[in-house]
Structure 1
Amino acid sequence: MDFAFDARTEELRAKLLAFMDEYVYPAEQVAHAQRSGLESPWENVPVVEELKAEARRQGLWNLFLPDDTYGAGLTNLQYAPLAEIMGRSPQIAPTVTNCAAPDTGNMEVLTQFGDEAQKKQWLQPLLAGEIRSAFAMTEPDVASSDATNITTRIERDGDDYVISGRKWYISGAMHPDCKIFIVMGKTDPDGADLRRQQSMILVPRDTPGVTIERAMRVFGYEDHYHGGHAEVVFDHARVPVSNLIGEEGGGFAIAQARLGPGRIHHCMRLIGMAERAIELMCRRAVSRDAFGKALAQQGVVQNWIADARVAVEQLRLLVLKTAWMMDTVGNRGAHTEIQAIKIATPRTVVGILDRAIQLYGAGGVSQDLPLAELYAGARTLMIADGPDEVHQRSLARRELKKHR
């Protein structure tokens, strides 16, 4: 593996770093102020919409998508340092570059598995940033860490499918521009193969029988920029058979294909979050005195900063190795590495952010700094896309198998 960035990556890094300095960081407080003046917290924020146009003008758009027919055509290794930069402002930067979840994963699903009609109706407007989307998989009444537990039904009725079930923490569903759900449910609940019972289907948000029951908060945050999270009821929602993605029974495989890139993208951005935390720690340490000397001279603070730097460098190497393997041997070949980064990155970054918050005291938990919101996002990623324990279980089995 070559650790040097190629020419295209260097060019995009330079443009993105300049875009962050000139537009994104100054927009953070502006966006918060503008949102507080809106009639609904879910409305589009003017400064964010302005930045979308600027990002697109600069060619910083759809960088996540490796398919050069639809996206930038970057490899995972090329995208990694760019996602890291965007992770330094995870609420705004991914959104204004059209690189925010859950839209990214949904666009990948439609690119890989959608038919031409589905791509024309839903993928094209998503790529253009004209609409948003949601991915409806998690359910409140079952252990959704095991996707075979899902109870939502997708039943064939003539030329239609009828969807019934309850989902929650459906990211993106609260956004006013969310027009389409990708819903995972069971078409064959009694099938012998537990991983062939599920299917995925496109359900327009305005379909009769689809009800947004409430917004779900994460540590008190509503995550407005990514479209929030919602509890959604599908009460005999009826859509055409042509809305099925792929084939009946293919839902589990599609979910796994979707989650691989999603997991590494989260880890890439988490490294950016950690880098911003270290930067804020250092600024605080050299600007504040306590007990007769600067915080930067306190041994415990020096240890926090040193340990954080070591941890981030380790994580970055593991994430880059994983990205390289996904590019060279595919997601299946990089399965162990994907699980390793999903276990290691969120928990390590949570620790770094916790130290940064401690260093800032009351300011660290306030809305005046990004640390509290970054912490909430990082801690959530120990659950999202499969909780740590599921990945540990699978990874341990893989290791033990070598010795049996």
Structure 2
Amino acid sequence: MNLGSIDRAAYLRLANATNAAASGILNIHIDNILEALASALGYRTWASLNSKFQSDPDWRPEAYDHFGFIQRLYELMYAKLASRIEERDLPDEQKRAMLVNAAANALATTEATAVLVEGARLDVSVIRRPPEQQRADKYLDVAYDVEATVRGIPSDALAGERWFLLPEFSGQRANDVIIDSNFDFRVELAHDLTVTRDRAGKKLRTAALEGGVWRGGLFVVAADQAEEDSRVIKNVKVALARAILPPLTRQVHLRVFQPDSYMAEAYRAELTYGPAALGTLGGKPFTFDIDLGGSRWIHAPKDGLTFGRDGNPRGLVRNGTWAGEIYPRSGPQTPGLISITAARLKILEAAYRALQVKPQATAA
């Protein structure tokens, strides 16, 4: 389906199909999907786009703005999460930490949903191991087998550096819920980019699909109540969907993570243009704006850095990839330090805007 020339009936089918695909793996509402799709087609609201469809049945949108979808859905998701946090009677410092986490979760949900719009589908099964496999004499946790299967995407979306970070959990249950990969699904990065659980140097968090499948284990301390068991499984499915789906986009993916060896508030950034995004560029190198301004800056190696006519730094994309590091300008306590999620959004927008001719999207 060409998303840039969609009619009203196809639009509603796409929104409903995306919502159905998200059910059980992402916390998102059909209303938000409708609004974000409208934004991608150049309308601020679904109401205004629907009015256009109904008043002019032969009219078709001219283009589909992938970042427009991401930006609008993120705004809606974050606003909902933030309002819930602001209503709570909590210390300011705790609220700030929760808002930072909410922003990261909203963006991850948004990017995962965008991949569902492209046609990907994800099934996650979490099955409690039988009593004879629990080893209660040795371990305090309850073990589950976890399998994630991706469907509905071309094989080129599974090629290349499509690894993901296994989720870690925050809050009171941070150390009580652990996800680990089976051995064959673990990914070892270069030593200086290694990411391990709690940055402790052991138990890799880097994982990858094999033939569209990932398998691992879930280990939960004191999972002895049915209600608690169900809640944990739901949260694990959501966390895995946020981790697995975004790297599978055929458009633009920006991976930002913190290797164990990096200082506080320093991050590795890796940008990948998928086959659909590169379709109009003919394989030629191109540049995008990497000037974050304010309290963060980006360092890139010489072969990934150039300067525009205005003297500002620009990332140089070769063969559809670019990598660099994001640092605070002075230190982790820099006043007004923008969140890493805000920095990610700024880089992602620049990366999409560098595609002067927007690529055509496809959806199931």
TM bucket (normalised to shorter chain) is under 0.3
Higher strand share: 2
> So what's the TM-score if we normalise by structure 1?
0.24
More contact order relative to length (CA 8 Å, sep ≥ 6):
2
